[in-house]
A = this chain, B = another copy of it.
């Protein structure tokens, strides 16, 4: 276990009808005038936003609404949000939705007290930002999809659409003060979205579980494995019974616990799969969960020998492959079972299965590989195995 510090200050409020408590919690956290932020989509049409607005006003709060968030939320709307909040004297922001809405809210919250340009805080992965946010505005979330974990994480991803730049601000200042998680709100999600959400949740703990520390660590191994088992068990249940309350509730909680840092305490983690997937998504408009389903198994096949004990443990404990002296076969069988699981959810597991993506060539692989953000001084990425451009091309080939 590496020296580390862990703090997850987001209050998780879980259960049926909890969205009705939104006003109570905004008041508890000192809000008076609330920006109610959403994507103008189903949450508005089905009346949820209006219900929450009424709940806020019933507690004496004033409400200003701003819809229009798109997937891969845009800086332009963030700027609009900041202006609106300044004009209206907003002192609390409430996101109603999933990761895109939450991230847009986080960015507005950071920009509100900042005299400069909020884009100063955003960088390519792991480089140095122009400025570090020193304060933010309190944010709450009414979560409508179990997926990104942004409701309890320190991450924020914003796209500057005119330059097609997607940038990151990972700062604990971003962590919402509360996240209301009503599993009923996730029951109407289409199966594909549910599936991609599950893959996203699972990936956040896989990136922490797979680490250079040989064998990992018993406790944090088990905590991440708790997330893996939950994703697989609940994923299977929801295929047949999309209204299963326990499965939906477990996945909402798993979403938060998988990306708040709990499963990575004292571990280096890896994250190369996310950086590689970022390029695929960026070039071909691939849904994040679909891209991860294709990249992660390929990455695993490429790097597992760097930490045989840990990958062997994962294959036997999590994927329940029978133990054997032939560790390579056990691990490869485990990865095959992972692919089976992903397929069972309706996800692609090969590049050729990605919707809307043409047949990719070696040139495409090289182009994307070169652009993958480099983390280490030698230009490589990842920690289980430090991957250079050739390694990344090899992973794309394995994913073909």
List residues of chain A with CB under 8 Å of any chain B CB: 1-18, 183, 217-220, 222-223, 225-227, 229-230, 233-234, 245-247, 249-250, 253-254, 257, 262, 265-266
A253 touches B12 (CB 8 A): no
Q: Which residues of B contact A230 (CB under 8 A)?
A: 218-219, 222
* Least CB distance, A21 to chain B, in whole angstroms: 9
A22 to chain B, nearest CB (A): 13
Copies of this chain, tallied across the complex: 2
A140 to chain B, nearest CB (A): 13
Additional 5 contacts, C-beta under 8 A, given A218-B247, A219-B254:
A3-B15, A7-B11, A218-B229, A219-B226, A220-B253
The answer to whether B14 touches A7 (Cβ under 8 A) is: no
Residue with the highest number of chain B CB atoms closer than 10 Å, among A16, A217, A253, A254? A253
List chain B residues, Cβ under 8 A from A18. Answer: 3
Q: Can you list 29 A-B pairs with a CB-CB distance of less than 8 A?
A: A1-B14, A1-B15, A1-B245, A1-B246, A1-B250, A2-B15, A3-B15, A3-B16, A7-B10, A7-B12, A15-B266, A217-B246, A217-B249, A217-B250, A218-B230, A218-B246, A218-B247, A218-B250, A219-B226, A219-B230, A219-B250, A219-B253, A220-B253, A222-B229, A222-B230, A223-B226, A223-B257, A225-B226, A249-B266
- Assess the A222–B219 pair: CB atoms within 8 A: no
**What's the minimum C-beta distance from A368 to chain B, rounded to whole angstroms?**
35
In whole angstroms, how far apart are the Cα atoms of A3 and B14 in the complex?
5
Q: Which residues of B contact A10 (CB under 8 A)?
A: 7
Q: Which residue of B lies closest to A4 (CB)?
A: B14
- A253: chain B residues at CB < 8 Å are 1, 219-220, 265-266
* B-side contacts of A17, CB under 8 Å: 3
Q: In the complex, are the beta carbons of B266 and A14 less than 8 A apart?
A: yes
Q: Given the known A-B contacts A5-B14, A265-B253, are A233 and B218 also in contact in the complex, defined by CB atoms under 8 Å?
A: yes
In the bound complex, what is the Cα–Cα distance between A4 and B18 (angstroms)?
9
Chain B neighbourhood of A265, CB < 8 A: 12, 14, 253
The smallest beta-carbon distance between A198 and chain B, in angstroms, is: 13
User: In the complex, what's the smallest C-beta–C-beta distance from A349 to chain B, in angstroms?
Assistant: 24
Bound CA–CA A257/B220 (angstroms): 11
Rounded to whole angstroms, the CA-CA distance of A247 and B219 in the bound complex is 9
How far, in angstroms, from A123 to B225 measured CA to CA in the complex? 39
The 3 A-B residue pairs whose C-beta atoms are closest, nearest first, are: A3-B15, A222-B226, A1-B249
Contacts of A223 on B, CB cut-off 8 Å?
223, 226, 257
Q: What are the residues of chain B within 8 A of A249 when measuring CB–CB?
A: 1, 217, 266
A250 to B219, CA, bound (A): 6
A5 contacts B11, CB within 8 Å?
Answer: yes
Closest to A232 in B: B218
Cβ of A206 to closest chain B Cβ, rounded Å: 16
Q: Which B residues are in CB contact (< 8 Å) with A217?
A: 246, 249-250
| A4 cross-chain contacts in B, Cβ below 8 A | 14-15
Cα–Cα, bound, A334→B247 (Å): 27
